[in-house]
Structure 1
Amino acid sequence: MSVNTRAPELLQSHSTRPVMSTLPRQGLMPSYEFPSYNINRPATNVQPRNAASKDDLFALMQTVRQGFTLPKLDPITFDGNPEYYHSFIQGFENMIDRHPYPPDVKLAQLIQMCKGRAKDAIKHLVVIAPAAEGMARKTLEFRFGNQTLVIEAIIKQLTAGPQLKANDAEALYDLAVKMRNCYTFSLEEGTHS
């Protein structure tokens, strides 16, 4: 093994080309010396090919890291009850729609997350898949997410049911939660109308 007498020059030049040895050769094959690098020094001159690739890489690393740290979510289902339409659509958007899946995959996921009347309303749309995902969401919104239907379902749940007893804390708490949900929904819909 030969000693590299040009090590300081190599550290500055960062050449990746092999350097011919200045010592006498032994045998027929030339001996090569590869430049040595200081691995403790941070690489300040390393640049990505373009700025977008650095951002894309960072986003990919974040996604992979989150995939390992977040618990697996069970997909929510929607049975056609207008009261739960908006929470279902919000869940679908968070779990499926915001990811860059193809439209036919999003449609398949949407159909799989529906059951009963909601599934019956959109399951036939697979025959016209790629464009059908948007149609399926519009169909669900028209049939089950209509503001009037949702408010009627919430009010029905508030007014129907057994009569509450004064000492039934659990039933009173459930009623308070339903009233808060109704109020929140009416505020939210009031800002979009």
Structure 2
Amino acid sequence: MSVNNGDNASAPVFNSAFLSKIAGGSIQGAISLVQTGMTAVYDLQEWLLDLADRVTDNETDIASNTTAIANVPLGYTPTSQNAIADDGTVNLGNNKLSVVSVAGDGAAITLNSIPFGAGYDSLSDMTVIRLYGTHATNTVTIVENDNDGGAILNGESVTLSKGRFIEFLYDKTNKRFVEVMRSADI
């Protein structure tokens, strides 16, 4: 068969005109696309099949990355502990960014020297914790403790009353909660 000017371009026309058939009706041969100054495609069918595989792989990667991105928290995770006992601790989840509203249990209190409890070492490195005071008289005091699980402060201690905050960064290597910033007036 031959291809004539004006014939519709289709697989049967091209296959019959340019490729030979082997027993069973399958096509033997390959179409190559070569143009000066361009990257040549020497087996069009193989190239198209490879392209289809790459598109499928990329679709799979995009779908899995979209799911992973959707599960990344994009801000602080708020929690509240408005009845902390004297010498108590602030409980943290596994959030990389936490803001915890805090107040003493009916009175002003001082947190334990390990203010975030014994499970602090399960936190991820560089976890950010912001404590926010919620009561004018049931304040929460944090003391300096440069030991495992302790808080390294920019001063000896800090007291959180209503509207005041302090932020820590957990340094897993040194096992310390390092003060990053605090309200200007505490």
What TM-score results when the alignment is normalised by the length of structure 1?
Answer: 0.28
Question: Which of structures 1 and 2 has the bigger CA Rg?
Answer: 2
Question: Which structure shows the bigger proportion of residues in helix conformation?
Answer: 1
What TM-score results when the alignment is normalised by the length of structure 2?
Answer: 0.29
